[in-house]
Amino acid sequence: MCGIVGFVSSGPVIDGLIQGLKKVEYRGYDSAGVAIIEQGIIKRHRAVGPLAALMTELPPFQGTVGIGHTRWATHGRAEEKNAHPHCGKGTAVVHNGIIENFQALKKDLSFQGIQFESDTDTEVIAHLFATSEHLTNLQERVLFVLKQLKGNFAIAVLLQDCTDCIIVARKGLSPLAVGQGKEGFYVGSDLSSLSGSAQKVAFLEDETWGVLYKDQAIFYDWTGQEKHLNFYPNPLQAQETEKGDFQHFMLKEIYQQADLVRIQGLPALPAEVCQASFFTALGCGTAFYAAWVGKFFLERLAKRFLNLELASEFHYRNPILPDGVSIVVSQSGETADTLKATLYAKSQQQYVLGMINAPHSSISRQVDYLMPTGAGTEIGVASTKAFTMQVLSFLNLSLALCSDAPLRQTVLDSLKEIPSVLKDIIQRSHEFAQIAAVLSQYQSILYLGRGLHYALALEGALKMSELSYIHAQGFAAGELKHGPLALIDPQHPVVVLAPWDESFSKTLSNLHEVKARNGPIFLITDTKGAASLEGLKPEGLFMYPSLQEPLLQVFPNAICVQLLAYYTALHKGLSIDQPRNLSKSVTVE
């Protein structure tokens, strides 16, 4: 969602701010802006649309203290007046999160004669700072404002009365990172914005604020007590946030999977996990589907029960949880719904295992045991390598808990086949481009699969709809006759995930039912499956080499649905790394 950047230095900061904004672009945004202190005066420049729009007519700022923001509209449309930074008299503010009491504050401020120019909740923060100018002590002034704000927020503030610093603050779910580099101090809504600039980084804890100068940073708690923040070496390398020779980050990230999915050594699990017989998995979107695959792994290999829960629904119903382990799955580690679900699980005395890609994220800091999924930085909004690494983490967990040594060995042997199978698929990407050219003509696509492949059908449909804006929906193949078959006609194609396994013949019968109703079929299968089609002639076919262990077909299937969605969006000329309306890191509920 929205991205915050800030930079205080001894030289001009505008280039550093723009670089930072480019690095948070992946989070998704619809407008952007910067504010800089120029010769003692706050100057602001904002624009709707991509950063390129902000860059046109960008004044030649020379100031050494500045903040910037990419906005994903929540309160108020994507219009320039709603873009951040928001200003009050002598103040400018960028903000992530939601000020829950902004209506009441706005009313009070309006009574004092203050005119509002935007529809946002953020603007109240700027005016509160403006109305606190009588407080000459900076600490008193900041606390005066912070204590009036309810909700979750991360902010960076410029004050005309304090021209050599940026004020930063965090409360609740919205993360904020501070970086120290050779040229000064930085602030950012995540580590990406600090990659390539800050050598050391620290996350602001809940209810912490601070003042960043060019050569020092001082932090305080909500009572005004000074507090120490641990800075550690920046784990993010600059090249991780660059596209290299790829046309899109998404394609780079799809390709990286062939090198990532391999035997890593099984985790040494804590006793709480080894002894648990009841697991609950929590996640949203793609992370939820990875957990769905994890359910198969955990039940088949480790013989443990896994209860699947959408994190966005979970805590609202106050679920009852038997003693056990909750596994929270998240790429960003910042998803507000998943963070809330984590906190609820903790409140129910669950032992919490985090399968998180961003090891220093807010959720990572909450869990009892962290299994970093190790996908590396994922920039494309559509999750690809993060999904496969979440699936691999579930496999590793399940194998570590598996007491059937021969079964474990068979799976590990089959895992060795995966990199070459994935490379083979990637080398034949053009075949997906051909299928995608046909699929892109349709308004609606059904994805079908059985068992493990049902989870992949759901993931494939999510990928297709988020990237191509074609309505796509996943169904369990066995459910077809219970309703969705009514949709089938020549205008409603089905994408089917059906490599050869114990349920193949059942899925084949479903495909004949589709064929009998003139539904176009696009089949993703393996060589054994393709050889067993019994006269079925799909409109499109992609076949990958058969694997020793059918459980691992999830990996080639994942890459296939990703490439299909990628090429469909490419064919339609859409924004692949930042699909409309979506954000990489969903930090509001």
| Chosen residue from 9, 70, 174, 332 binding ligand M6R by CB under 6 A | 332
- The closest of 163, 123, 160 to 33, measured between CA atoms, is 123
* E strand spans, 417-544: 444-449, 471-476, 494-497, 521-526, 540-544
x/- string (CB under 6 A) for ligand M6R, residues 383-402? x-------------------
Tokens coding 157: 């503030």
Q: How many CB atoms lie within 10 A of CB 441?
A: 12
Q: Which is nearer to ligand M6R, 176 or 415 (CB)?
A: 176
| Chosen residue from 280, 331, 350, 393 binding ligand M6R by CB under 6 A | 331
Q: Supply the minimum distance, in Å, between the C-beta of residue 390 and ligand M6R.
A: 8
Q: Which is nearer to ligand M6R, 64 or 361 (CB)?
A: 361
Tokens coding 47: 């624009």
Q: Supply the minimum distance, in Å, between the C-beta of residue 491 and ligand M6R.
A: 26
Q: Which is nearer to ligand M6R, 466 or 526 (CB)?
A: 466
SS3 assignment, position 70 = strand
Only one of the segments 165-173, 254-262, 379-387, 494-502 lies at the binding site for ligand M6R (rule: CB under 6 A); that segment is: 379-387
Q: Which residue among 171, 340, 385, 584 is the active-site one? A: 584
Q: Which is nearer to ligand M6R, 18 or 291 (CB)?
A: 291
What residue is closest to ligand M6R based on CB?
285
Q: Supply the minimum distance, in Å, between the C-beta of residue 237 and ligand M6R.
A: 20
Residues 6+ apart with CB under 8 A from 111: none
Q: With b meaning 16 or more CB within 10 Å and e meaning fewer, what string describes 56-73?
A: eeeeebebbbbbbbbbbb
Tokens coding 148: 């009036």
Q: Supply the minimum distance, in Å, between the C-beta of residue 466 and ligand M6R.
A: 6
CA distance 384 to 388: 7
How distant, in Å, are the alpha carbons of 226, 433, 483, 539 from that of 430? 59, 5, 34, 16
| Chosen residue from 338, 364, 388, 568 binding ligand M6R by CB under 6 A | 338
Identity at 464, one-letter amino acid code:
M
DSSP 486: G
Q: Supply the minimum distance, in Å, between the C-beta of residue 542 and ligand M6R.
A: 21
Tokens coding 424: 């083979």
Tell me the Cα Rg of the chain.
Answer: 25
Residue 488 touches ligand M6R, criterion: CB under 6 A: no
Q: In the annotation, is 584 catalytic? A: yes
Q: Which is nearer to ligand M6R, 177 or 381 (CB)?
A: 381
Residue 326 touches ligand M6R, criterion: CB under 6 A: no
Q: Supply the minimum distance, in Å, between the C-beta of residue 422 and ligand M6R.
A: 19
Q: Supply the minimum distance, in Å, between the C-beta of residue 538 and ligand M6R.
A: 26
| Chosen residue from 98, 194, 212, 381 binding ligand M6R by CB under 6 A | 381
Query: What are the backbone dihedrals phi and psi of residue 227, each rounded to the nearest 5 degrees, phi first?
Result: -135, 155
Residue 187 touches ligand M6R, criterion: CB under 6 A: no
| Chosen residue from 70, 286, 377, 507 binding ligand M6R by CB under 6 A | 286
Tokens coding 326: 């909750």
Q: Find the DSSP H helices in 334-446.
A: 336-347, 385-400, 405-415, 418-427, 429-439
| Chosen residue from 73, 92, 261, 287 binding ligand M6R by CB under 6 A | 287
Task: Using CB under 6 A, count the residues that bind ligand M6R.
Answer: 15
Q: Supply the minimum distance, in Å, between the C-beta of residue 575 and ligand M6R.
A: 14
Q: Supply the minimum distance, in Å, between the C-beta of residue 286 and ligand M6R.
A: 3
Q: Which is nearer to ligand M6R, 208 or 357 (CB)?
A: 357
Q: In the annotation, is 165 catalytic? A: no
Q: Which is nearer to ligand M6R, 286 or 525 (CB)?
A: 286
Query: What are the backbone dihedrals phi and psi of residue 411, each rounded to the nearest 5 degrees, phi first?
Result: -65, -45
Q: Supply the minimum distance, in Å, between the C-beta of residue 95 and ligand M6R.
A: 21
Residue 335 touches ligand M6R, criterion: CB under 6 A: yes
In the chain, how many H helices and how many E strands? 18, 25
Q: Which is nearer to ligand M6R, 123 or 190 (CB)?
A: 190
CA distance 280 to 295: 9
Residue 211 CB-half CA count within 13 A: 17
Hey, which residues does 44 pair with through a beta bridge?
A: 35
Q: Which is nearer to ligand M6R, 499 or 579 (CB)?
A: 579
Only one of the segments 46-54, 92-100, 248-256, 284-292 lies at the binding site for ligand M6R (rule: CB under 6 A); that segment is: 284-292
Hey, which residues does 91 pair with through a beta bridge?
A: 88, 159
Q: Which residue among 2, 87, 284, 560 is the active-site one? A: 2
Q: Kindly write down the DSSP assignment for every residue of 366-377, as one continuous string.
A: T-SEEEE-----
Sign of the Cα torsion 141, 144, 145, 147 reads positive
CA distance 176 to 206: 10
Residue 330 touches ligand M6R, criterion: CB under 6 A: yes
| Chosen residue from 142, 284, 371, 418 binding ligand M6R by CB under 6 A | 284
Give the residues lining the site for ligand M6R (CB under 6 A).
284-287, 330-332, 335, 338, 381-383, 462, 466, 586
Active site residues: 2, 584
